[in-house]
A and B are shown apart, each in its own frame.
Chain A
Amino acid sequence: MFRHAAIITFAFLTSHAYAFCGFYVARGDAKLFNHASQVVLVRDEDRTVLTMSSDFKGEPKDFALVVPVPTVLQRGQIHVVDKAAIDHLDAYSAPRLVEYYDPDPCQRFMAYDAAAPAASMQKAARMEEARANSLGVTIEAKYTVGEYDILILSAKESNGLETWLVENHYSIPRGAHEVLGSYIRQNMKFFVAKVNLKEQANLGFSMLRPLQVAYESPKFMLPIRLGTVNANGPQEMFVYALTRKGRVETTNYRTVKLPSDVDVPLYVREDFAPFYKSLFNEQVKRENMTTIFVEYAWDMNWCDPCAASPLSRDELKKLGVFWLSDSPDTSGATDAFVTRLHVRYDREHFPDDLVFQTTGDKTTFQARYVLHHPWTGTTDCDAARQYHRSLRDRREQEARNLANLTGWSVSQIRKKMNLASVDVKEREKKWWEW
């Protein structure tokens, strides 16, 4: 949507696996979804730090970003940050697949093995300003930050702003002036960024780094409306909210937790990416694409199991967690609670911008799916026979769980699990199965 619209189309990122109690198997991260935006939203009292990461893949000269912001921003309120910190946050908070191994059914007590280590010229400038003024657009500030040229604009009316954006090669979609007008009348300013090719070459970055803005305003919201004008289908966004108080939720849309702690068939181990994608598609469908999903809500000090290690104090500070002191307190604790929200949205189902609130809820939640490996060792006892009989029901239940979560055909799942053959050969026939 960059260059074609405004706001934020954010990219996706990857990382590495870590072990935990049991064995960490796989993670469903943001790059599974095309055209996904990533936003890190740090909020405390009226202070917000917003980091926007884009999956823009075109020529840097074609990159353009327009984000409505509540206030005029000073140079020091704008930063370019390293994408690695967002990658790490994404990995830390991603839905995860974990596995357990059944113990020997003939042994009465068996503890799970624990834990591997978690591990221009003046004239041109004057002309530009004069043209802007003639259109009712005021260039409030102009900065070069990292590889970006940034302008903070205010405008008197939407047609003038739209004309200015078009003349300055921001391809604003048709119909955008209505939305621009709404933001103007709400006294919003416009954060406008383009890539400074010379600076980019000097800095040596081939990828566009995330932009970060910090502002003080009671408005706790994400302006998504510009991005949905003439958008080509629904868009995907991940919001990683970091607060002191607790979980973040939207106040104008339902926020629901993704189904979690469900046992699924073992073959999902090889298919976790399509599983998570289908699961999310199915949940969006069931909720008529009107809700925002919580995928993770956790105190940044720990994780269990860890899909990635918690972020370091340095990384959190880079992402704008401004309340952290430079050195840890005596307890070493990090005062940050992360909420990972995932939303698929379009203009029809999400007519209004996302408005958030921080709740006092510090209950931990993770989207977690579980594999149980049957015991394969030699057994010879009554308990073992009973255990083997129970396995059939368990596998059937896993197949149904998977079908229910993803909308996949249960018979296809059974086939993949070789459950049909189990049905015929091993299961005791019911009286009607003559």
Chain B
Amino acid sequence: MKNIDPRWWQIGSLAALLVYGVFFLHFDVTLWRAAAISGVALITQAACSRWRRIPFEWKSAAISALSLSLLLRADSIFLLVTGAFIAIASKFFIRINGKHLFNPTNFAITSMMLSTDRVWVSPGQWGSIAFFGFLVACAGSFVVRWSRRSDVTVAFLAFWTAILFARAIRLGDPFTIPLYRLENGALLIFAFFMISDPKTTPDSRLGRILFAAIVACGAWYVQFKMFHTNALLWSLVFASPLVPIIDLVLRAPKFEWRTACFDTLQSSPSHS
């Protein structure tokens, strides 16, 4: 199993979540639209790889496409595929110190939301009934791809849980409220597939834990002080520019995908 690129597991988990979401939770996305998003993401990846003269690597683009299909919503398919293009292009064009700065999916969603009010994210679409199913799917993928970089997911979930419970204690709310907020598929996608992106998190462990704390605190501010939706996404996109600074202060070796079948592609500008 160690010889398998962990991104296969991610693709499997995300695809299963998408199929479940479309057929059982009635997400406002069709498989046809997901295919269009994936097509544009892969074409953009191929074109940019050719331009940068690096091997075409499709798995990271597929992960971005599946994540976008799970999260980004619009009436117009044009806006969805534009999101896919922005996600992949951002990896090639917004780079510092040889790393892309933003998680592609996160950057695409937030930049689209800033540009037009015709796109949205439905954080409530997951409900809580299927939460434990999602947890198994995400955690399964997580265990399989366990690496020293996975600490950011654990740290973020720990900080976020602490914030929600501390707020409940301060307000005198029953614990059913923070527990309900934790039982959310959108939180799992964010923690296991977005903030966990090894290419856009600090290189040192201490840096990653610090980054997780910053994102969790930012999300608290956006959600409970500004009363904006999608607090996790906004917090991550605004915290991402801090990563190069954290890397400057807390130095450590840069992450490269390295698996038995993937060594040759380690120089590609891919993400988790």
Contacts and interface: CB of A to CB of B under 8 A. Distances in A.
Given A182-B173, A185-B171, A254-B25, A357 B229 contact: yes
11 contacts: A182-B171, A185-B172, A186-B171, A217-B227, A218-B226, A251-B122, A252-B181, A253-B127, A287-B129, A357-B229, A360-B118
Given A352-B180, A363-B75, A181 B171 contact: yes
A290 B127 contact: yes
Interface of A: 158, 178, 181-182, 185-186, 217-220, 245, 249-257, 287-288, 290-291, 351-352, 355, 357, 359-363
B227 A218 contact: yes
A359 B180 CA distance: 23
A256 B26 contact: yes
Contacts of B125: 254-255
A257 B26 contact: yes
B124 interface: yes
A361 B75 contact: yes
Given A181-B171, A253-B127, 5 more contacts: A182-B173, A220-B227, A254-B125, A287-B129, A359-B120
Contacts of B177: 351-352
B176 A254 contact: no
A249 B74 CA distance: 14
B172 A253 contact: no
Main secondary structure of the interface of B (DSSP, over half): loop
A181 B174 CA distance: 12
A251 B73 CA distance: 14
A58 B197 CA distance: 60
B170 A185 contact: yes
Interface in B90-140: 116-120, 122-129
B124 A255 contact: yes
A359 B171 contact: no
Interface string B37-78: 000000000000000000000000000000000000111000
B26 A361 contact: no
A352 B128 CA distance: 13
A182 B117 contact: no
Interface string B185-203: 0000000000000000000
Contacts of A219: 227
